[in-house]
A and B are shown apart, each in its own frame.
Chain A
């Protein structure tokens, strides 16, 4: 039978605040173990949590980026459970009144098709410590005899993002995650690094016969450490479930771990108790009221959203998907590009320079484009000079190198040094005739059939004009003089 997958994603994203969610300990990855802890994040009796204002602002930004509702009233709750990496024996989280509700992630596939996946909610909570399972040799729970805990991460602000089951393939799930990542990065709320654990995600997967409206039994996949594992894990799980249904077997609702080395999902064996977290409002924390004015103030300061850039670059400017994605995924360069286009009014030519020569200069020198001496205003001038055919592309390249070296306005250089392209037919004829007279041997060779001499002659004329001749005009005139 043909099946359709139904996939929902749950993501945890660490916010990049300076301090933790409810105390002043530094929020920093990679510090010496257990050096960033205090009575509040260790849950000592008598200590009191106070929410981090920046984390709340980041939540509002995220809500706005995904067009979620920002309720006027929200609160923190305690999620009660026991785990050694959670020192208070409860996690401060949000249960029924989160900071954002609903929303939608609009993302694009490799071919540029835009899809949507609704969000259920994004709420704010605190991260747990990090345990290393020891005594088994491979750092996993299975077979370990004890665990070592580092509490530096305990209390770091953590955003939990839950999607509706709107995704239909592993490809869509990965594209959704990439969009989530680039958006959260663009609005400056997280580094979203999977390899450092600041982005962690689980996937809920079920399948159903194509055309069916009801959902099948779902499984939850955990332990996916890269977008590549997300894709492989979901594909493998869809295949496993399809084979089971085809064989007339029943799918069991369970939690699965992704085994990267073997490329399979494995049952994590259900916990001893069904989860019963006994959520209740945290009496140590007062509710939050977010006014419309506050939301408007945050909105006014938001950076451009990747999806808006995508629609402008791909649809309005007609860039291909690869170039569009390349620009969007380097937000500083996209900012530089946008400011240049405001001056140049020629998106395609500007993009050619930014992703072409300018990127090459940046790679060669190790200096980022937006930190180079080339300003968007000056690059805009350069593009305008090229578009107006005031200078040819060869001169433009030379000018760009000089701008990179700090020589400033290309327009000023052109005027000062008389580099404007020669369109005067008499001057052009003089450049050509001088070259023909000085290279009589080459002219003979060409006439005898050695057509590759032609390129040499064009080059000689360009050189003779000190690069100011229009190469197309030189070509035409040379052919005319040489008789075809």
Chain B
């Protein structure tokens, strides 16, 4: 079952995941439980704590702008589902326009 804040069928569609009705029911309940778990935060007094999107303390982790070798093309292309010459071949992108 989808919870109040979670339209599981819509999220699955955005993620391009095909779910059976049974899976919608099962995953909906599991994700609903997860959201419920996070919601326990609402019971705490957090007024003095600034919001953050990160739990690690490091900042400004960067690398110097240096070129490094790339992978061998054959290795990469042989890993692709379909190739054509030097390119990765993919299905038509948008329906007939």
Contact = CB atoms under 8 A, between A and B. Distances in A.
Interface of A: 17-19, 23-26, 32-39, 42, 50-56, 75, 80, 82-84, 131-135, 141-151, 268-269, 271-273, 276, 278, 281, 283, 285-289
Given A149-B87, A287-B54, A288-B60, A18 B94 contact: no
Given A19-B68, A25-B68, A147 B96 contact: no
Interface in B7-37: 13-16
A147 B67 contact: no
Interface residues of B, number: 38
- Interface SS of chain B: helix, strand, loop or mixed? loop
B94 A271 contact: yes
A132 B59 CA distance: 39
For the complex of A and B, the 9 pairs showing the least CB-CB separation, nearest first, are A24-B68, A54-B65, A281-B53, A148-B87, A84-B90, A53-B62, A33-B86, A142-B97, A149-B88
B97 to A, nearest CB: 4
Contact of B77 (A34, A56, A80, A132): A34
Contacts of A268: 97
Interface of B: 13-16, 53-54, 56, 58-71, 73, 76-77, 84-97
B89 to A, nearest CB: 6
Contact of A151 (B60, B68, B88): B88
Contacts, number: 132
Contacts of A18: 65-67
Contacts of A278: 14
Contacts of A51: 61-63
Given A52-B63, A150-B87, A141 B73 contact: no
B59 to A, nearest CB: 5
B88 A148 contact: yes
Contacts of B87: 33-34, 132, 148-150
B55 to A, nearest CB: 9
Contact of A32 (B14, B59, B60, B86): B86
Given A34-B73, A269-B97, A288-B59, A146 B65 contact: no
Nearest to A89: B16
Given A52-B63, A131-B90, A75 B71 contact: no
A281 B54 CA distance: 8
B90 A289 contact: no
B59 A42 contact: no
